[in-house]
Structure 1
Amino acid sequence: MNRDLVRAIRLLDLEPRRVLAAIAAGVATLGSALALAALSAWLITKAWQMPPVLDLTVAVVAVRALGISRGLFRYLERLATHDAALRGTTSARTMIYRRLAGGDPAAAAGLRRGDLLARTGADVDALGDVVVRALVPIAVAVVMALSAVVVLGLISPAAALVLAVALAVSGVVAPWLSARAARLAESESAAATALFSETAVTALDHAAELRVAGRLDDVVSRAEAADDAAVRAADRAAMPAAFAAAATPLAIGASVIGSLLIGITLYGPDGGAPGAMTPMSLAILVLVPLAAFEAAGALPAAAVALTRARLASTRIVALLDRAGEAQPGGTRTPPDPVHVRAQGVRCGWPDSDKVTAPLDLDLPPGARVAVVGGSGAGKTTLLMTVAGLLPPVEGSVTADGDPLSDFRPDDLRREIGFFAEDAHLFDTSVLENLRVARGDLDEDAALAALRTVGLGEWVAQLPRGVHTSLGGGARAISGGQRRRLLLARALVSPARVLLLDEPTEHLDAVDGAHISRELLDRRGTLVDPGRTVVLVTHQLPVDARPDRVVTVGEGPVGTGNGVSPGEPLGASQRP
């Protein structure tokens, strides 16, 4: 195992007793199979001698008991293995989410949506597969292989040597070939798979907008091309995978034939000469290897699981390293109401030379501010900086004169809320999607918020009202309904400072303008007059009544005022 895989497996927080219980159940399962093979061989050859029936009674009952115990222990092994794996993946995801929440926000926000989904979803599942498909099967296979070799060694050392070599082929060569095939498939198709996830999610979430813009076919074509690239990578890995699949059957055949030839060579006509092999020993010599390979047969899949987990762990560890250690934050509670002020702030992502021009932003309680600017100018980055999610490149952001870092992060998030335009809608009820922002929200308050943003009629038509599940999350509703639902989530939140990133996009012009006016007017009915609203928009109505309009633009890196000679000021404010 490489270092990244060891670090990633630690995220599973596996309990040794649960893993040992799974291994013990697996050993008992295949031990029953091994004992069943040996006892069946004895029973077949003993019955051939036609002894009294009572001489076979115990063996017959034991065969039944071993057959039943094999299924029972297999069931217990599955329960124990999947219990450990599911607990581990839950623990790993919890640790990753906490690390991302408390670390550098750029670690998650800087990734493509499909890539982030793959790292927190499929990659963590690959780690869980290590328990089910690798750790437990490998441990069981080692125990059973040694046991089978010892059993055959008591009868014929030569046959035991043949079995050991065949098990080495099945347990070492076949897994190596399988791992090589998986490495080829995973390494060459990882980028294509991530690109396919990103473009597929984009096509599914924004199909209507892309169709209107005439770009849907291009996005679908990119998704198909990425999928084809992943398939071609899998085809290239098929050759070593085919040899790996053939290695175990060939090893089984060689072991059985070798044991049979050795047994025939040693078999004595009288069955009792010194050094001669009895019929019962010969039968055991042939049947036991068949049971021994049942454990080794799982090792190629274990190698594939380890290879995939190793590649997944590299991506997970890179994400965690980029996020850094969770910052302890301050110890104070933000005042209520809070007065936020940004002075000489230039905003940008870490390790990026793209920053905004400096600006001052004063947000007393109840302020209404509109933020405008071209696409990619840094409007969202400004909101994240004001919310304390990104550190300012230059300048400072304070709450009642104190740096945001002085306050407890959880308390600060409840006081200053950033609501992204692409926030996630979960595959659960409408009510639970609103409770993401406020856990104690009741049904009446949820209905009131939904009616406020224009979703009252839509909710009334749902089969179970606010308890209707949004199957597929955002895919279950239109783009406009999604924006209204996200706005309702912001309105029900306890935050006193609402930083809203383009909440009216995908709405028709009339409704979008109406909501923007209501949000930016101190006398509007959407937001309590005591709450502060900062609204990012591309479509500011001409009759809107904000306290201030801020225009965000880029400023050159390294200049003191963010202005290039002969260029207009990149960030301005007007009352």
Structure 2
Amino acid sequence: MSTVLTPAERRALRRAVHLLELDRARFALSALIGTLGLASAIALSGTAAWLIARASRMPDLVALGVAPVMVRLFGISRAVLRYCERLVSHDTALRGMTALRTRLYQTLAASRADVVAGLRRGDVLARVGADVDAVGDLVVRAWLPAAVAAGTGALTALAVGLIHPPAGLALGACLLLAGIAGPLVTIRSARAAELARTEQAADLSATLLTALEHGGELNVAGRMPAVMKDLEDLEHRLAAARDRAGRPAAAAAAIDAAAAGLAVLGGLLTGLPAVASGALDGVWLAVIVLVPLSAFEATAALGPAAVQLIASAGAAVRIVELTDRAEASTAGPARPLPPAPIGGSRLRARGLAVGWPGGPIVAEGIDLDLGPGDRLAVVGPSGIGKTTLLLTLAGMLQPRAGEVTLDGVAPWGAARDDVAGRVSLTAEDAHVFSTSVLENLRVARGSVSRPEAAALLARAGLGPWLDALPEGLDTTVGPDATTLSGGERRRLLLARALAAPAPLMLLDEPGEHLDAPTADRLVADLLDADASRGVLLVTHRLSALAGADQVLVMGRPAPDRPAEVLRRATHAALADHDDAYRWALSQEDEQ
């Protein structure tokens, strides 16, 4: 492995395998069972060859001895042992995958939010899904075939050598040729194709998620055909990468077949003179010639095992890179927030510029104050940076310029529980868990009682919906709210936000997927109720903002400039004096 993997890949693979927490005894057991199973297949071939050759001399039935029984024994044991090996090896690998995936989730959960927020969702899906599977597949698709091939190869060469030493030496040499040369050819040729395939697979996941989750917006903007064309191109490139990865496997198979032919030829060339001289019985010549045909079944699996080694090494590099970033973000102690002021927590932004890590600044020059009882609304066209602003205010993204303070301290790098206890953020794509309605509310606060949950749902406009549920609060919601309509999902997320104990609440499009009157009524209720809380909401709807203390209108001063807060005033003042705001409001009235 040291000659075919880079130092970085070897280090990453060792660390990732360590995280698998493999049970070495179970792996050794699976290798032993696999070796015995393949040895049974080879022994079946050798016994059958001996039996046929011996029977050709038409001896008495008793002269065949127990060979017919051994044929049955090896035929049955081969299938049974192979099944047992699959059970033990896959159980070992799946346990390891579970341990690795759990460790990865725990590390990400303890890290700063920007570690995950800075990744595309397709990348996260690839790393906690396919990459973890690839590292686990190393056990059953690379290590196990190598161990079985080494064990059965040694046993077979030894057994043939006991019958006729020159034939055993020839078989051993050919097994080494197939077991070393074939995988080396495969590894060196498959590296580029496999790396290209994994990169394109992540791009494919990211593009597919974009098309699925934002199909409506892309259709409205007329960009869906371009996204689908990109998806088609990615699929073609992925298929081409798979074809390239298959060519080395074909070369390895050719080497394996050639080595098997050489082993048969070696058995003939060394066995025929021995038979002619009387040093070897002709019956055993059939054995040393036919056994190699079964012995190379073990080396045939080494080509795919080599490809799996490269795939697992690449996956390990990506997993270790992610865990290193996550662990580095938690290397120092989180900075505690100071005690909340007597009047309640206060969130301030001064000269704030926001943007995703590694990307351009999308909005800048933002000033705002949010404290208990304050009602702020941020409006503007899609893509202007409103959601990015909310993530930055919640401490999930680092400011690109300017500052954000929560009770005088930057929430960035502060203890996560401290920030969550003072600022709650409900994103537009927040997750709904596959559990009961009550437990989905308790995600925000574990002490939510059943009467309180019913009241929160009623406040979010889900009272009649709750009454119609077959099991009430105990009704299970499908994975990511697949059993709910878009509007019901948004209201459930809103009820969860209302359940959070934080005195400051940030809401991203609370009225999304609701009909206009319902959305306006919901937003108005949010702005009018619970005067002890500060509310900052992002919305496209303007009609319900009469209860906002201040409306911040975001826009770009020039097409090539980041967005800014172009105007700020009360809803009434903007409706009276701002032509663009008044026009947008009139368009809503006509809908």
Please tell me the TM-score bracket, short chain as reference.
Answer: 0.7 to 0.9
Aligned to 2:155: 147
Q: What is the aligned counterpart of 2:377 among 353, 356, 370?
A: 370
Residue in 2 aligned with 1:508? 515
AA in 2 matched with 1:344: R
* Aligned pair partner of 2:106 in 98, 112, 130: 98
Gaps of 5+ in 1: 557-563
Residue 228 (str. 1) matches residue 236 (str. 2): yes
1:508 is matched by which residue type in structure 2?
D
1:316 to 319, 324, 334: 319
Distance 1:122 1:356, change over 3 A: same
Corresponding residue of 2:293: 290
In 2: Cα distance, 1:323 partner to 1:246 partner: 45
Change (3 A) 1:133 1:289: same
Aligned-pair CA distance for 1:435: 5.2
**TM superposition shift of 1:61:** 4.2
Asked whether the equivalents of residues 329 and 406 of structure 1 are also in contact (C-alpha less than 8 Å), the reply is no
Q: 1:181 to 1:507 in 2, by over 3 A?
A: farther
Q: For each residue in 1:436-466, what CA deviation from the matched residue of structure 2 results, as whole angstroms up to 9, or x when unmatched?
A: 4456767776665455434556667777777
Question: Are 2:249 and 2:304, in contact at CA under 8 Å, matched by a contact in 1?
Answer: no
Instruction: Provide the residue aligned with 2:536 in structure 1.
Output: 534
Please state if 1:119 is matched with 2:121: no
Distance 1:98-1:256 versus aligned 2 partners, 3 A rule: same
| 1:283 aligned partner, one-letter code | A
Q: Superposition RMSD on alpha carbons, in Å?
A: 3.9
Q: Which residue of 2 is the match for residue 87 of structure 1?
A: 95
Q: CA deviation at 1:93?
A: 2.0
| Matched-pair contact (CA < 8 Å) for 1:173–1:247 | yes
Q: Distance in 2 between matches of 1:13 and 1:333?
A: 37
* Partner secondary structure for residue 271 of structure 2: helix
- Map 1:340-351; keep pairs closer than 5 Å: 340-342=346-348, 344=350, 346-348=352-354, 349-350=356-357
SS at the partner of 1:121? helix
The residue identity in structure 2 corresponding to 1:537 is: T
Equivalent residue number for residue 545 of structure 1: 547
Distance 1:65 1:162 in 2: 28
Q: Structure 1 stretch 101-110 or stretch 350-359: which is displaced more?
A: 350-359
Q: How far apart, in 2, do the equivalents of 1:355 and 1:87 lie?
A: 44
> What secondary structure is seen at the aligned counterpart in 2 of 1:365?
coil
Amino acid at match of 1:285: I
Residues 89, 228 of structure 1: alpha-carbon distance in 2 compared, 3 angstrom cutoff: same
Distance 1:386 1:200 in 2: 29
Structure 2: distance between partners of 1:324 and 1:135: 29
Return closer, same or farther for 1:347/1:95 CA change in 2, 3 Å cut-off. farther
- Three-state SS of the structure 2 residue aligned to 1:20 is helix
Matched, 1:258 2:266: yes
The structure 1 residue matched to 2:396, chosen from 371, 386, 389, is: 389
Tell me the TM-score normalized by structure 2: 0.80
Amino acid in structure 2 at the alignment position of 1:369: L
- Answer yes or no: is the 8 Å Cα contact 1:372–1:537 preserved in 2: yes
- 1:21 corresponds to which of 24, 29, 32: 29
Which residue does 1:10 correspond to in 2?
18
Confirm whether residue 421 of structure 1 aligns to residue 417 of structure 2. Answer: no
Q: Kindly state the Cα deviation for residue 133 of structure 1 after the two structures are TM-superposed.
A: 0.4
| Count of paired positions | 556
State the one-letter code of the partner of 1:384: L
In structure 1, C-alpha distance between the alignment counterparts of 2:533 and 2:43, rounded to whole Å: 74
8 A contact 2:108–2:116 mirrored in 1: yes
Aligned residues of 1:355 and 1:555 also touching (Cα < 8 A): no
Separation (CA, whole Å) in 2 of partners of 1:300 and 1:341? 59
**Partners of 2:163 and 2:448 in 1: CA distance:** 73
**How far does residue 134 in structure 1 lie from its aligned partner after superposition?**
0.7
Counterparts in 2 of 1:445 and 1:35: CA distance versus 1, 3 Å: farther
Q: 1:340-372 deviations in whole A, cap 9, x for unaligned?
A: 333536353455562754555444334433234
What letter matches 1:314 in structure 2?
Answer: V
Percent same amino acid among aligned pairs?
Answer: 46
Q: Give the SS at the match of 1:544.
A: helix
Aligned residue number for residue 560 of structure 1: none
Return closer, same or farther for 1:311/1:164 CA change in 2, 3 Å cut-off.
same
1:255 maps to a residue whose letter is A
- Aligned to 2:256, which of 248, 257, 260? 248
- What is the deviation of 1:429? 6.3
* Distance in 2, Cα, partners of 1:465 & 1:369: 34
Q: Distance between the aligned counterparts of 2:286 and 2:361, measured in 1?
A: 76
Whole-Å separation in 1 of the counterparts to 2:105 and 2:517: 39
Q: In the alignment, is the contact (CA less than 8 A) between 1:182 and 1:308 conserved in 2?
A: no
- In the alignment, which residue of structure 2 is the partner of 1:34? 42
Q: Please give the secondary structure, in 1, of the residue aligned with 2:296.
A: helix
